Amino acid sequence: MEIRFQTKEESNQRQQEDFLKLSKVERFYSFLRLSERISKFPVKNRDNKNKDNFLIVIPSK
């Protein structure tokens, strides 16, 4: 592990350069991994959008 002392702008620039060094396929997979990690990120108040909705079920005969 390497510790670097840099500004936020320098850090963002480095991350962008590292990302652009990847091939298009690697970028896409990197994006998918990030999306998956974000979806698992814990949040306090998740609004249940279906909370006030109701479901009509018509059983088949």
Give the model confidence (pLDDT) of 24-41 as tens digits: 999 999 999 999 999 888
User: Within the chain, which residues score under 50 in pLDDT?
Assistant: none
- For residue 10 the two structure tokens come to 């320098």
Q: From the centroid of its chain, how far is CA 55?
A: 30
**pLDDT at residue number 50:** 64
Task: Give per-residue burial for 21-45: e unless 16+ CB within 10 Å, then b.
Answer: eeeeeeeeeeeeeeeeeeeeeeeee
Distance from C-alpha of 44 to C-alpha of 61, rounded to nearest angstrom: 43
Contact (Cβ atoms closer than 8 angstroms) between residue 19 and residue 27:
yes
**pLDDT at residue number 9:** 96
**pLDDT at residue number 46:** 65
Average per-residue pLDDT for the chain: 87
**pLDDT at residue number 49:** 67
